[in-house]
Structure 1
Amino acid sequence: MADINELAEKKLKSRIRKIKKCNKDETEKQKFFDQLGTSFEIFFPNKKPEELSDSLIIWTTPEGKVIDAEYSYEIPENEEFTSIQVSEKDLKVILESLEDFKFELSE
C-alpha cells in the first residue's frame, strides 16, 4: 500500500487537474462547485498560545452563504477543550468585520 504522503500528493494533483478544467469550462465549473461548500477557521491571537487557544470555524454553502459557526476554546496544558455554537446575533457582528476580507496570494 502506498504511503499516506504519496496518496495525498496524488489526490492533490488530481484535484488541481479538475480545478484547471473548471477554470476553462464554465459548465464544468458550475457542476463541480455547486457541490462544494467551504469552511474556514480563524485563530485569534493570544499572548500565551501554549496556555490558551481559541478560534472560530465558519461553514458556508457553495454560494457563500454562512450556514453555521462555532467558537472553540482550548486550554492545551490541561487538555481541556469545548466548542460553542455562535448565535445569529454574534455571527452578524463577526461577518460585518470580515466583509472586506479577500483571498490573495502574498508576494
Structure 2
Amino acid sequence: MKNYSQDELKKIYKARRQKLFAYMKEHGITAAVFEDCEERRDVAVRYFTGHPSDALWICSSDGKNALVPWDENLAKERAVDVKIIPYNKYGRENTRTVHEVLKTFKLKDKLKLELNPS
C-alpha cells in the first residue's frame, strides 16, 4: 500500500470536494450537511475529509466547508485540509451547530432546508 505525502493527500481530497461542489452548483444546491454517527453512518464524511467517524461535515457549493468532530484530537490527526470546529462549541446540538456554521459561510442564497426522513 502506498504511503501518500500530505501534499498528495491534500490534492486527492481537494479533487473529491471540487467534484461535489461542481455537482451542487449544477443542481442548485447551496449547502449540504453529512452526518456520521452511531445511528446514521455516512462514509461521505471520511471520503471528503479523511476523518474516520462520528462527525458533521458541512459544506457549501462555493467551497466553504467545516468538520465538526466528536473527537477533536482524532480529527486533527486524520482529517485532511479542512477547518475543524470542536463539537462542544455550540453545546453539542447538531441543529444549532449547522445553523451557526452556515452563518459563518456568509452564503448569498436564501437557504431551503430538506431533511432526510430517516
TM-score range relative to shorter protein: 0.3 to 0.5
Q: Which has the higher strand share?
A: 1
In our comparison, the structure showing a higher alpha carbon Rg is 1
Q: What is the TM-score when the length of structure 1 is the normalising length?
A: 0.32
Name which structure has the greater RCO, CA cutoff 8 Å, separation 6+. Answer: 2
